[in-house]
Amino acid sequence: MAMPIRTAPWKGILLRLCRQQAFIQEARCLQTTAVCCKKKAGHVKVGKGFKPVTYEQANPPYRIGVRKSWNSLHTANLHEEEGAPERTVEDVFIRKFIYGTFHNTLAAETIIKRRANQIIICLVLRRMMPPGKYYFLIAYSEALLSYWLKCIVKLEVQVVDDMPIYKWL
C-alpha cells in the first residue's frame, strides 16, 4: 500500500503567494482599446457591382420591421405570452430540417408563419430536380413535420430557374 505524500504547510502558502503575484502582474499588463461602434454584422460588402444579392441580403439588419419583415412570424413576443423559447427552438429545427431535405436547392431564406394551430413554411427553390421529386419531398416534409410538431404544417413552394437577384453590389 502506497503512503500518501504529505507536503509541508509552508509550500501551500508559497504557492498562494506566487498565484497572487502572478495575478498582480497580469492586472498591470491589462490593456484596453477604444470601443468601435461600427455596425458590420449582417451587411453585404459593397464591391464594384459584380455581386448579386437577394432582397434579404440587400437590406441591413436595422431595416427589419421597416423595409422587410421577420423570417419567423408569430405572436410569442407579445406581452405575457408564453412559449417564446419553445417556438424559437422549433423554428431552428424546421430551418435545419428544410435545409437538409432540400439541400442545395434553396434560393432564398425560409419564412415560417404561425396561425393558430397551423404552421406555414414558405420556400423559394431552384429548379434542379424533376417535378416529381419536388412533390415527393414536399409531401414527405409536411407529413414528418406535422407528426413531430403535433400541428398542421403546410409548405408553400415557388420554383424558379435562377436565384432571385434584387440588385448588384
Q: SS3 of 155, please? A: strand
Average pLDDT rounded to a whole number, residues 54-60: 79
Residue 124 pLDDT level (bands cut at 50, 70, 90): very high
Residue 22 pLDDT level (bands cut at 50, 70, 90): low
Distance CA 166, CA 169 (A): 10
Determine which of 82-91, 105-114, 146-155 has the lowest per-residue pLDDT on average. Answer: 82-91
Residue 134 pLDDT level (bands cut at 50, 70, 90): very high
Write down the pLDDT at residue 84.
81
Residue 7 pLDDT level (bands cut at 50, 70, 90): low
Write down the pLDDT at residue 153.
95
Q: Evaluate if residue 96 carries a pLDDT over 90.
A: yes
Each as own residue / partner, the long-range contacts of residues 65-72 (CB below 8 Å, 24 or more positions apart, any chain) are 71/109, 71/110, 71/111, 71/112, 72/111, 72/112
Q: Which grid coordinates belong to 169?
A: 453590389
Pairing mode of beta strands 111-115, 72-73: parallel
Q: Evaluate if residue 28 carries a pLDDT over 70.
A: no
**For residues 8 and 69, which has the higher predicted lDDT (pLDDT)?**
69
Max CA separation in the chain (angstroms): 80
Residue 31 pLDDT level (bands cut at 50, 70, 90): low
Q: Evaluate if residue 136 carries a pLDDT over 80.
A: yes
Write down the pLDDT at residue 69.
75
**For residues 146 and 19, which has the higher predicted lDDT (pLDDT)?**
146
Residue 12 pLDDT level (bands cut at 50, 70, 90): low
The residues spanned by each domain of the chain are 69-161
The reply to whether CATH 3.30.70.920 applies to domain 69-161 is no
DSSP 20: H
Q: Evaluate if residue 155 carries a pLDDT over 90.
A: yes
